[in-house]
Amino acid sequence: HQTSNIEHQTSNIKHQTSNIKLYIIRLSDLPLATYEGGIPEFSATHPRSIGKKRLDVRTPASKAYRKHLSDKQDQLTAFMKKNINPLLNPIYKYEVVFNGMALRLTPGEAAEIAKLPEVVSVHQDRPRRMMTDTSPAFINANAIWDGSGTCGQPGTKGEGIIVGIIDSGIWPEHPSFADDGSYPPPPVKWGGKCTPPADGTKGYSCNNKLIGIQYFLKAYLANKGDNYDGLFHSGRDDNGHGTHISATAAGNENVPATIYGIDRGMVSGMAPRAHIASYKATGPGGGVTSDLLAAIDKAVADGVDVINYSIGNEFASDPWKDPDAQAFLAAREAGVFVVVSAGNNGPDMSTIGSPANAPWVTTVGASYFNRLFLSDIEIQNSESEIRNFYGASPTRGISDFNLVDTEGIADVKGDTSGYCLNPFPTGTFRSTDAVLCKRGEIATAVKGNFVQDGGAGAILLYNDENSYDLSSFPYPIPSVLVLYEKGLEIKEFIAQSTQPPTIRFTQGEPFFSPDPRVPVDTVLGLSSRGPAITESSPDSLLNIVKPINIIKPDLTAPGIHLLSAASPEWVDTIHGEIGRLGNQGEFFQIIQGTSMSSPVVAGLGALLKSLHPDWTPSEIQSALTITAVSQDHKARDASGDHPATPFDLGGGRVDVSRATRAGFVLHESTENFRAADPSE
């Protein structure tokens, strides 16, 4: 009835036609997951208020309250169309973990809507960025599978658990998601679906392993105006990020992996018998919160047990006001264990952004585990002097190529910086040239394409001053990457040679600790650090930073040289083409980042949920965090490796076998999280 009163307060608002942006409107009624009653006609739907462990959207009470929310949203929409702008139509309506809607508005319209009594807040939508063969044995997942680490309980591989992946989609035909006929149907609580592509191009199907594929791109397309290719205007993954993450969390067990024609053994997800539900909510240029919020809302309604969210923002907005952070608070109350990547903005303090800074999500940093793919490098100059190095390589090696420094050589735009930022003209290099490029400014794998355009047959990269890890990328030609200091040595060696030196490097092979080149249990330099903060504005000139006295991340997991599934076709975001950048046609890749460490924990959460179905998300988080391993762990930054602090690694590196033996677990309530708002 409040909407009828609004009409007396606002009228004849002039519509401005310029500067339209995406906004998320939050309304005053509680969403389905946290509604504890209070409206006489509607019973409580909050699970704990009615003695349940998780939300059930199919009960009569849930259906009635959702209709109530939807009807009030429709009333508000009708009022706004009459009094603000007749063309206003919600892109999305949210009811399950967030009560509100997404709209395209001018700033003036947003300001008027913010004054309405049913409106709690109006947020301008902000872009979100996408931020795995992790040996299961390293974190003792195999001890949960076979029952040797479950304290007498039967082993589990995640049977009956649904893992929801909100990301860039999935490659449905990948063997990591195949159903060999041994999977049972999804649990009866499952309410999701397999949404076909928008235009029917290259359709796909789901099975009892990959039980759901849905996509949420309305706001992305409205905001960016992209002409999205028919193949990918669907739940199909356009860059491999979501496919890699899905397989890391819950991909099939013992899937043969080959990259660049090299047999890399078998890969398994952390919870290999769990069901996977994919929610695509990002496009080639990233994502927007409106779409992501719709995916969160639908995933919880569908009945997922775990959500992985390897997505975020460098900007640390207030989690007590941020829409997706608030949605995750309600999702937690609905019984869903939410895992969020810490971000790749380390190693400086307080670099964790949103929604990873929210205390109610499990925030995961990235650390080295006990294996790297390394290559031995030998460079010989014209005076027969030899220098030996090592670097990271996922590819085959080369023998007796000429080593050419690209600094001073112009690309098609005349840049001679040595960063290899643009394609080089055809014929710049020979097929027997290995060219030296500096890392930074653009995606590293793209540099391989640009030197290949110029004719080069291999690439040697070295870190820039702000990169500290031996990373691996999907290059199209033989490649190896060395640390910054070694790159400077190589540059000097080239400069001192009267003729181009020759270079050979070996095929990248797995090396394991205690090899001193493998810094096991060291937090990656790129992994974002705590403590958590909030910021007032993305504009650094106006930004007010406030500490919120929260230790983040919560823990770390393996996050470098992770071998997992990939999409064999993906979109070139620079040229708008398919099959242009990186190494196309590969079904597996070796990459790194907190995006890759987060699904490790999501998969382990699925194992714990299968083993302890009575545990709440808080109890799963506490079991993993208080049993994590931290003794003698290091953290990497510009000065090298130093003893890690809780702001580097939280509780420590995850060990799921220890988590099953936790002496106690802790539950925390939504009420207490809300009461901890430092602005109150």
Q: Could you tell me where the DSSP H helices lie in 470-584? A: 484-496
**Phi-psi group of 240: left, alpha or beta (phi > 0 → left; psi -120 to 50 → alpha; rest → beta):** left
Catalytic residue among 595, 610, 618, 622: 595
Q: Is residue 301 within 8 Å of 279, Cβ to Cβ?
A: no
Nearest to 132 by CA among 596, 461, 538: 596
Measured distance CA(269)–CA(253) in Å, rounded:
6
- Phi and psi (nearest 5°) for 113? -65, -35
Give the DSSP H or E segment for 511: strand 509-512
Catalytic residue among 29, 56, 133, 167: 167
Q: Is residue 323 within 8 Å of 162, Cβ to Cβ?
A: no
- Does 205 participate in catalysis according to the annotation? no
Measured distance CA(352)–CA(530) in Å, rounded:
6
Nearest to 568 by CA among 579, 557, 577, 559: 579
What crossing angle do the helices spanning 617-626 and 594-611 adopt, rounded to 10°?
Answer: 110
For residue 653, give the DSSP letter.
B
- Phi and psi (nearest 5°) for 208? -80, -5
Catalytic residue among 46, 233, 241, 244: 241
- Phi and psi (nearest 5°) for 259? -130, 130
Measured distance CA(547)–CA(532) in Å, rounded:
6
Alpha-carbon torsion angle 180, 184, 185, 189, nearest 10 = -140
- Identity at 48, one-letter amino acid code: R
Encoded tokens for 522: 């060291």
Give the DSSP H or E segment for 639: none
- Does 431 participate in catalysis according to the annotation? no
- Does 167 participate in catalysis according to the annotation? yes
Burial classification of residue 44, based on how many CB atoms lie within 10 Å of its CB (0-12 exposed, 13-18 middle, 19 or more buried)? middle
Task: Compute the radius of gyration of the chain from its Cα atoms.
Answer: 26
SS3 623: helix
Measured distance CA(290)–CA(327) in Å, rounded:
12
Q: Is residue 499 within 8 Å of 382, Cβ to Cβ?
A: yes
Instruction: Please identify every residue annotated as catalytic.
Output: 167, 241, 595
